[in-house]
Amino acid sequence: MWGIANAATKALTVDNSLDSATKLIGLAGDLNKVPASRITWATMQTQDVTVQGSSRTEIAPGAKAMFKSIATDQSLTAAAAGAGHSSSPTVPPVPIASIAVQVQNGTTVNGRALAIAQQLIDGGFSDRTAPGNGTPAATTSLTYPPGQKAQAQAVARSIGLPARGLVQGPGTRIVLLIGADWPTGATFPGGKAAPAPVDTQAALNGTNQQLGTDKKCAEVSTYKDVIGLDASGKPTSSDHPASGTSPTRAYALSPNVKDSAP
């Protein structure tokens, strides 16, 4: 039976850390240490797109918030439970996805602005964040327009820039000018970067989720191309099926296949 279990796990497309029965048992043991009320099961956000006439399922933009919540160890349980839970979901006062930063290179290091701009985008800031050349500067500064101090503070926290580096200016954009005092590294020298808080409600938007204490079964996917169909229109496990259908439709097309559970 152990060999069958290992063979079954090899047939699944999973993370390398879950590719054997031993590893799955280890995961179950770890989960058993966590109260069911603190566990949230959720599907990753996906979207159907059409490319050159063919439909396929891709990762949706909302998945970025979900994985950032996981990476920064922020609980999704409160957001999944809603108003009935004792704690409130984390909703940052300033959604960082709406904060665009003009990153300017005031150093002699080529590509410095590009590296920091990409770091900010990867950290959840707006995709409109962009690099550019700046005037040579000895010190790093973060200039923000009137009314956007909170946004600038969120940027400063993410890179470890102290409060003395923030300056209100007359412009309309938040501008990070990287000076000679920060020639390398992801965090300002001597500073301590803190990941921006994640909107955990947004992290679960577009997902099917349930708590570990829920007794209901997980919802079945409604995507039309989740299950492959062969040329004759029957469900197939082929990697390159002729077409696709939804799980419920595939079930209806397989009356002679026994249910795995009553």
pLDDT at 239: 67
Q: Which two tokens mark 71?
A: 């990476």
* pLDDT, one tens digit for every residue, the chain (262 residues): 566 666 666 666 677 777 787 888 888 888 888 888 888 888 888 887 888 887 777 888 778 778 878 877 778 887 666 534 444 445 556 788 889 999 999 999 999 999 999 999 988 899 999 999 999 999 999 999 999 999 999 999 999 999 999 999 999 999 999 999 999 999 999 998 887 666 777 788 888 788 878 877 666 666 666 677 788 877 777 767 777 777 777 778 877 777 765 4
Is residue 130 in some structural domain? yes
Same domain, 174 and 230: no
> What's the confidence (pLDDT) of residue 181?
97
Q: Could you tell me if residue 27 is inside a domain?
A: no
Predicted TM-score of the model (pTM):
0.54
Q: How many domains are contained in the chain?
A: 2
User: Which of 237, 216, 212, 219 lies closest to 227, judged by CA?
Assistant: 237
Query: 149's torsion region: left (phi>0), alpha (psi -120 to 50) or beta?
Result: alpha
Please check whether residue 257 lies inside any domain of the structure: yes
168, 108: one domain: yes
Q: Is residue 16 one of the residues assigned to a domain?
A: no
User: Per this entry, what is the length of the chain?
Assistant: 262
- CATH number, domain with residue 135: 3.30.70.2390
Whether 42 is covered by a domain: the verdict is no
On whether both 159 and 226 belong to a single domain, the answer is no
In a domain, 5, yes or no: no
pLDDT value, residue 222: 62
As given in the structure block, the two tokens for residue 6 are 């290992």
Q: Of the residues 153, 178, 203, which one is the last residue of a structural domain?
A: 178
AA identity, residue 141: S
What confidence score (pLDDT) does residue 254 get?
79
Q: Is 246 helix (H, G, I), strand (E, B) or coil?
A: coil
Q: Both 100 and 172 in a single domain? A: yes
Q: Which of 75, 69, 59, 43 is nearest to 210 (CA)?
A: 43
Among the candidates 120, 149, 178, a domain finishes at 178
Contacts of 162 (CB under 8 A, 6+ apart): 156, 188, 190, 191
pLDDT at residue 84 in the model: 43
The reply to whether 117 falls in a domain is yes
- Do 174 and 224 reside in the same domain of the chain? no
- Residue whose structure tokens are 């997980």: 218
Pairing of strands 101-105, 130-133: parallel
| CA separation for the pair 58, 82 (Å, rounded) | 28
Say if 71 falls within a structural domain. no
pLDDT at 83: 38
SS (H, E, C) 88-150: CCCCCCCCHHHCCEEEEECCCCCCHHHHHHHHHHHCCCCCCCEEEECCCCCCCEEEECCCCHH
Q: Which of 255, 252, 233 is nearest to 244 (CA)?
A: 233
Structural domain span for residue 247: 220-262
Domain boundary pick from 145, 178, 211:
178
> Same domain for 168 and 235?
no
